[in-house]
Amino acid sequence: MNNRPPISSSPSSSISSYRKRRKRGGPNIIYIIAGVLVLGGVILLIAWLAGPSKPINTFFATETSTPTLTFTPTSTSTPTATATATATATITPTATFSTPFNYTVQAGDYLEIIAKNYNLGEDGIELIMLLNPYGGINEITGFPIGIDRQNPNILPGQVITLPNPGMLLPTATTVPADLPKGQKEEYIVKSGDSLGRIAELFNSTEDDIITENGITDPNAIRVGQLLLIPVNMVTPTATRPPTSTTAPDSATATWTPVNGQPIATNTP
């Protein structure tokens, strides 16, 4: 049994029916397309706002919990007062040398203090003079070459040669008796010297030594000073040997006339 309505065979009725169906479906399609566009825009907007460093992240950020540090108490010992030892000043020993060595003069130095600091003994100054013969002024440095015996001043920065501790002076030689009278010999004043002793060594006189060297104060000669000594100015005097003794005076003198003149004779 066929329930479909009968098909109208009229063309006008068919066209009218098509138009009605078109009117009913047109708005629905537009609404669908508009909804799809709106939904797509919303999705794009959300995707953009949800990107890195975008404002929407602040709304959806998950709060990160801060870890809590738990401190475990440690046993702290109470410091005990300890006596502090007072440091004792250490005396720096002076270097000991076995051979002559170079030394740079410091501010405030002079020959006596240098000889004392390096334990050069009583002959230290004389030894320094012997090791530093004077040779004028160095044109490059401006310092004296060696030490002037007539003016034994030293300057800071000057390099001199010092003797090693224990160094001995050369042995003095005896003045030959055959040297011409008045011949001048060099002599360096030693510790304990006096003009009288020097004159005796060279068979000279104090006056001749004073005149030759222009000495104004005979008691002010310096250790290490160079003197010119006129030798053999006097005849050496023989001295009695220290072991000689005088004749005993226990004898009794008696007078015996000889040819009428009394003479003394010793009788025990």
Phi/psi at 262 (5° precision): -75, 140
125 vs 110: CA distance, rounded Å: 10
Q: What is the CATH number of the domain that holds 216?
A: 3.10.350.10
Q: What is the CATH number of the domain that holds 114?
A: 3.10.350
- pLDDT tens, 58-90? 555 555 555 566 556 565 566 665 655 555 554
Quote the domain boundaries for residue 115: 101-162
In a domain, 129, yes or no: yes
102 vs 110: CA distance, rounded Å: 15
Do 157 and 191 belong together in one domain? no
Q: Say how many residues make up the chain.
A: 268
- Percent of the chain residues topping a pLDDT of 70: 58
Closest CA to 126 of 154, 95, 159, 167: 167
Average pLDDT, the chain: 74
In a domain, 142, yes or no: yes
Q: What is the mean pLDDT of residues 104-122?
A: 93
Phi/psi at 134 (5° precision): -75, 135
What's the confidence (pLDDT) of residue 102? 93
What's the confidence (pLDDT) of residue 6? 55
Q: What is the pTM of this model?
A: 0.41
Question: Which residue is it, tokens 């060594």?
Answer: 201
What's the confidence (pLDDT) of residue 211? 93
Q: How many domains does the chain have?
A: 2
- pLDDT tens, 7-41? 555 666 666 665 666 555 556 778 888 888 888 88
What's the confidence (pLDDT) of residue 108? 93
Residue 257 pLDDT > 60, yes or no? Answer: no
In a domain, 256, yes or no: no
In a domain, 213, yes or no: yes
In a domain, 246, yes or no: no
In a domain, 212, yes or no: yes
Residue 249 pLDDT > 60, yes or no? Answer: no
Query: Residues 6 or more apart from 191 whose CB is under 8 A from it?
Result: 122, 123, 125, 126, 223
124 vs 169: CA distance, rounded Å: 9
In a domain, 257, yes or no: no
Query: Which range among 43-57, 108-122, 171-185 has the greatest average pLDDT?
Result: 108-122
